[in-house]
Chain A
């Protein structure tokens, strides 16, 4: 092979290698760019969701409301259960007394 041809071959090889490397880097850049855009979209979405729930200060407000609600709920639940039992017992006792009372009234002298 003559030296000029050899030189041309070398130049072609180097050009091909450099183009390949360039393309690979471009692909990496494109992939990273896509990932960045995806993350930015996620950030925007989360910020929108956070704003809908009252912003970052909303957490304190929500926790305070939760605490207040729990404080209101506990005594109500505490009252309801025994009250239900008591009413149920009274209802049972009344159901027992009612027929006897009806019979007594029916038997009274006119």
Chain B
């Protein structure tokens, strides 16, 4: 006949509880492991995406920085160009003014000299001229009427004394010629016009 024994029932219950607990634990463990695997996969994908986005952003930032640097350089170059424009305008104005006033002074000096008689004009490397009267002065030479005839003395071949060259601003090294040359340098070639009218 079956005899109920409490200790056997308790043992069976305990065993059952252990089995159920163990199963539950294993199920939870499996669930956690699956969750972990999924999270790992998501984390890897997120990492890759983050790296990719960072790379894209770095490329964009580099391009933007380069463009900004170019903008800064461009502004600097434009500022420099504007400064050069101002400097050129100022210089052109000053030189033109100086060349014009110099042209008038040279013209005046040469006009004033016409008719001047020099009793004895000593010349370098040749005989002196007596009673030499200046009758014409141009940029390179001075013409004299003297006792023996007419003499046209060139400044560039050193036929004239240095004092004449300086006094009437003659020859290739003349001040007015130099100023005119500077104006020609400053004037753009397309619109460049040597202004002979400025010369006496």
* Identity of the chain A residue whose Cβ is nearest the Cβ of B99 in the assembled complex: A101
- Chain B at the A interface: SS class: helix
C-alpha gap A33/B101 in the complex (Å) = 88
Chain A's interface size range is: 35 or more
Closest Cβ neighbor of A17 among chain B residues: B25
Residues of B with C-beta under 8 A to A59: 56, 59-60, 63
Which bucket holds chain B's interface residue count?
35 or more
Determine the residue in chain A with the shortest Cβ distance to B61: A53
Q: Are A42 and B50 in contact (CB under 8 A)?
A: yes
Interface residue ranges of B1-16 to A (CB < 8 Å): 7, 11, 14
Report A73-110 residues with CB < 8 Å from chain B CB: 73, 76-77, 79-80, 83-84, 86-87, 90-91, 93-94, 97-98, 100-101, 104-105, 108-109
A residues near B73, Cβ cutoff 8 Å: 73
Chain A interface, >50% SS class: helix
Bound Cα distance A97, B8 (Å) = 129
Question: 30 interchain pairs (CB within 8 A)?
Answer: A7-B11, A11-B18, A18-B25, A25-B29, A32-B43, A36-B39, A36-B42, A43-B53, A49-B57, A49-B61, A50-B56, A54-B60, A59-B60, A66-B66, A66-B67, A69-B70, A73-B74, A76-B81, A77-B77, A79-B81, A93-B178, A93-B182, A94-B179, A97-B98, A97-B178, A101-B179, A104-B105, A104-B169, A105-B105, A109-B108
Q: Rank and list the top 9 A-B pairs by shortest CB-CB distance, nearest first.
A: A46-B53, A39-B46, A62-B63, A32-B39, A69-B70, A25-B32, A53-B60, A109-B112, A105-B105
